[in-house]
Homo-oligomer: A and B are copies of this chain.
Amino acid sequence: MSGAAPVAVLCGGVGAARFLRGLLDAIEPEAAGSVCAIVNVADDLVLHGLHISPDLDTVVYTLADRIDPGRGWGLADESWQAMTMLETLGGETWFRLGDRDLGTHLHRTQRLSQGAPLSEATAEIAAALGLTLQVLPASDDRIRTMITTIDGELLSFQEYFVGRQHAVETEAIAFDGAASAAPAPGVLDALAEAATIVIAPSNPIVSIGPLLAVPGVREALEAGRDRCVAVSPLVGGAALKGPAERLMREQGHEANAVGVARLYAPLASALVIDHADAADAGRIAALGVEPVVTDTIMGDPERARALALTTLDACP
């Protein structure tokens, strides 16, 4: 553990992973151990008997420089022989699992079946891939985002996100299991001890939402509000990827940086927003949240690094 100021980052998948990549690039390599990523697990699923943790894997693969840059998920240099065989057999192939990626799911599932909590399996996987930051699942307990569509259909998150390509209108969103879940070991300590807490540019509803639904996490953020800065995932009222804008709107929030600020106002004292949303700065400030205007589109590692530096500087 270095003596660097500890940073805790609340994370979903792709956006958070890119932000963390920038953060690790922005600090000394030996300071990586002072960074703790607290990652959403409500997108997890059990498919074909395997425990799959998409957000944890996206974070770990990205930071280990193993992510497939084109797809933004899964491993680089991937092959798809298992899926091809599954297709031959008429099996379920809507959720694509690459051959290398399967190795991760096999290992995680085996460790869980041996009684290891998800946090332990995750730490092992992160360490085996050479990571020195701490990667924590929000909880070792089962939490599942369940989406009720306006047609009354109940979908798991991945059925909604991958199966339906998030092209259906949502009525209600619930985080099954969250109310009785405990934060994974280390989560509350990381939030209490962090010099800076960052809410990564992830989907406020279905990535950060389930984190806040774990008893103790919201309270820890409220207590740490002065040390907490959020990064808006919306740019010009649109999500760069995924259904953040649509879900914000459908769930009754203003689908722009102001809506994000309103959601996070009890938790964060500053919100990093894009130049495209500079006109919203006044309304955000009126909510008691300090707007920080910068370039939030992490188009390349240097811009991700700059965003991380600006974010760390947002909390005095």
Contacts and interface: CB of A to CB of B under 8 A. Distances in A.
B81 A99 contact: yes
Interface string A85-125: 11111111000011111111111011111000000000011
Q: How many copies does the complex hold?
A: 2
A199 to B, nearest CB: 30
Given A103-B84, A103-B88, A49 B51 contact: yes
Contacts of A88: 103, 128-129
A169 B92 CA distance: 43
A110 B47 contact: yes
Contact of A84 (B81, B89, B100, B113): B100
A99 B112 CA distance: 22
Contact of A100 (B81, B112, B129): B81
Contact of A82 (B102, B109, B124, B129): B102
A-B interface, 5 closest residue pairs, ranked by CB to CB distance from nearest: A85-B103, A49-B109, A48-B106, A91-B107, A81-B99
Contact of A48 (B83, B91, B110): B110
Interface string A39-65: 000000011111100000000000000
Contacts of A91: 103, 106-107, 110-111
A165 interface: no
A211 B81 CA distance: 33
A79 interface: yes
A86 B99 contact: no
A309 B143 CA distance: 59
B109 A89 contact: no
A101 B85 contact: yes
A100 B128 contact: no
Counting chain B CB atoms within 10 Å of each CB, the highest count among A49, A90, A128 belongs to: A49
Given A79-B99, A81-B99, A100-B81, A49 B86 contact: no
A91 B78 CA distance: 19
A102 B105 CA distance: 12
Nearest to A51: B49
Nearest to A101: B85
A103 B128 contact: no
